């Protein structure tokens, strides 16, 4: 009678698997049938993934094994996967050095008291594709007969789960390829937009030099050429003004303050200049102990340009009485830069304008996340991830 029950269970396993298209639901579908053949508290499949790694799929209890891939060298079943044995049978895995060695990912064994354990290979065309692992909280429950039954179950499951796993990996590879292609296209467009922006900046600087500095020098030359030329004090004042204007144009084109005095100082100076004589309270705080100045120079410059654009928008369009720039830690070695004002927010046409688009482009080119909130004033947040 027991043999008939097991044969019926194997028939139902085949029927259930024929209806499934993903590994997790397929394993859930046959869990009851596996339990008829071998009672268990926890069961899982470990399937070979990329070289040296395993993917786990569980029923009965959810553990860390299925939440992330596991390296073979720290897996409790490494001896079976690496060919040191044909099966593994544990009377009490909590005391079995094959499964609880130093560095092994064996927390679930202790957390859920998985004492009795049996592990057998899953093969397709004679080649191992993974293991079937069955556990129970009762010690000494399994024996060699259990090993044989587990192998029969593994033989029945292997071709189905190998096909499903192959399909999932192919889908994952295709998705990664599509994402990489999308990122490459986004960077290409971003680089094109940034090139156009830089060209516009060069044109603007040229116009500033022509309309302001060159015009001032021309007027000064005319004054000097007259018979009643300007006195020394007037001449000194005019030349000083022209030098100041020229210095501002140069600082906008080349962030010399950034290189000479660091990120926070350069941001504070730009904020002071952008605000000018307006009655606006300004604040710059760095809570990262100088993290921006430890960035790659290209990344640091891009972050500074984003800060400049955000400060300019706040000073010119928000009507704010306070503008604050704050740099805070993020993760292990990342940072978050926030530019916040308490103004009326940016008009819709400015939200859509090229300035914000350029900030997003700069952020994308340095792999940063940029968020923009146009409520209760305006908040721009740039998040740079640190080392993985």
Indicate the domain borders of the chain: 2-179, 257-388
Identify the H or E element spanning 340: strand 334-341
Alpha-carbon gap, residue 114 to 133, rounded angstroms = 11
Q: Using CA atoms, how far apart are residues 21 and 167, in angstroms rounded to an integer?
A: 9
pTM: 0.48
Q: In whole angstroms, what is the distance from residue 1 CA to residue 206 CA?
A: 94
For residue 293, the model assigns a pLDDT of 93
Q: What share of the chain is helix, strand, coil (3-state, %, to 5)?
A: 55, 20, 25
pLDDT in tens, the chain (388 residues): 345 445 666 667 767 776 777 888 889 888 988 998 999 999 999 999 888 999 999 998 889 898 888 999 999 999 999 999 999 999 999 999 999 999 999 999 999 999 999 999 999 988 999 999 999 999 999 999 999 999 999 998 998 888 888 888 777 767 767 777 776 776 667 666 665 666 566 666 666 666 666 667 777 767 776 656 667 777 777 777 777 677 666 666 556 678 788 999 999 988 998 888 888 999 999 999 999 999 988 888 889 989 988 998 888 888 889 999 999 999 888 999 999 999 887 766 655 555 677 788 888 888 899 998 887 889 999 999 874 4
CA 288-294-296 angle, to 5 degrees, is 135
Q: What is the pLDDT of residue 4?
A: 47
CA geometry: angle at 367 spanning 172 and 268, to 5°? 160
**333-349 as b/e, with b when 16 or more CB fall inside 10 Å?**
ebbbbbbbbbbebbeee
CB-CB contact of 324 with 283 (8 Å): yes
Q: Are 372 and 351 a contacting pair, CB within 8 Å?
A: yes
Cα separation of 302 and 370, whole Å? 12
Domain 2-179, CATH: 3.30.450.40
Domain 2-179 and domain 257-388, same fold? Reply is no
Which residues pair with residue 329 across a beta bridge?
Answer: 335
pLDDT in the model for residue 2: 45
Contacts of 267 (CB under 8 A, 6+ apart): 284, 304, 307, 311, 325
The structural architecture, per CATH, of the domain 257-388 is 2-Layer Sandwich (3.30)
Radius of gyration of the chain (CA): 34
């Amino acid at each position: 009678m027991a043999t008939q029950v097991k044969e019926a269970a194997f028939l139902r396993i085949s029927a259930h698997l024929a209806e499934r298209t993903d590994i997790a639901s397929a394993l859930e579908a046959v869990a009851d049938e596996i339990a008829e053949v071998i009672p268990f508290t926890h069961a899982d499949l470990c399937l070979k993934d990329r070289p040296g790694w395993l993917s786990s799929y569980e029923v009965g209890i959810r553990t860390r094994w299925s939440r992330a891939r596991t390296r073979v060298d720290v897996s409790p079943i490494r001896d079976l996967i690496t060919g040191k044995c044909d099966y593994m049978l544990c009377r009490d895995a909590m005391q079995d050095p094959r499964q609880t060695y130093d560095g092994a990912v064996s927390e679930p064994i202790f957390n859920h008291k998985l004492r009795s354990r049996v592990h057998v290979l899953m093969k397709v065309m004679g080649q191992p594709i993974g293991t079937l692992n069955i556990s129970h909280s009762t010690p000494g429950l399994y024996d060699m007969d259990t090993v044989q039954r587990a192998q029969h179950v593994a033989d029945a499951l292997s071709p189905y789960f190998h096909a499903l796993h192959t399909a999932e990996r192919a889908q994952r590879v295709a998705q990664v390829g599509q994402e990489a292609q999308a990122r490459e296209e986004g960077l290409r467009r971003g680089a094109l937009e940034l090139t156009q922006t830089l060209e516009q900046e060069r044109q603007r600087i040229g116009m500033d030099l022509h309309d302001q500095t060159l015009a001032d020098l021309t007027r000064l030359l005319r004054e000097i050429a007259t018979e009643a030329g300007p006195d020394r004090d007037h001449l000194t004042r005019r030349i000083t003004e022209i030098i100041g204007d020229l210095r501002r144009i140069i600082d906008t084109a080349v962030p010399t303050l950034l290189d000479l005095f660091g990120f926070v100082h350069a941001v504070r100076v730009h904020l002071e200049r952008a605000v000018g004589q307006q009655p606006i309270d300004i604040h710059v705080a760095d809570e990262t102990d100088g993290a921006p100045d430890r960035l790659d120079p290209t990344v640091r410059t891009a972050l500074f340009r984003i800060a400049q654009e955000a400060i300019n928008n706040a000073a010119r369009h928000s009507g704010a009485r306070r503008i604050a720039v704050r740099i805070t830690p993020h993760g292990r070695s990342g940072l978050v830069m926030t530019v916040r004002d308490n103004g009326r927010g940016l008009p819709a046409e400015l939200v859509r304008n090229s300035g914000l688009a350029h900030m997003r482009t700069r952020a994308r080119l340095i792999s940063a996340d940029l968020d923009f909130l146009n409520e209760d004033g305006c908040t721009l947040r740039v998040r740079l991830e640190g080392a993985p």
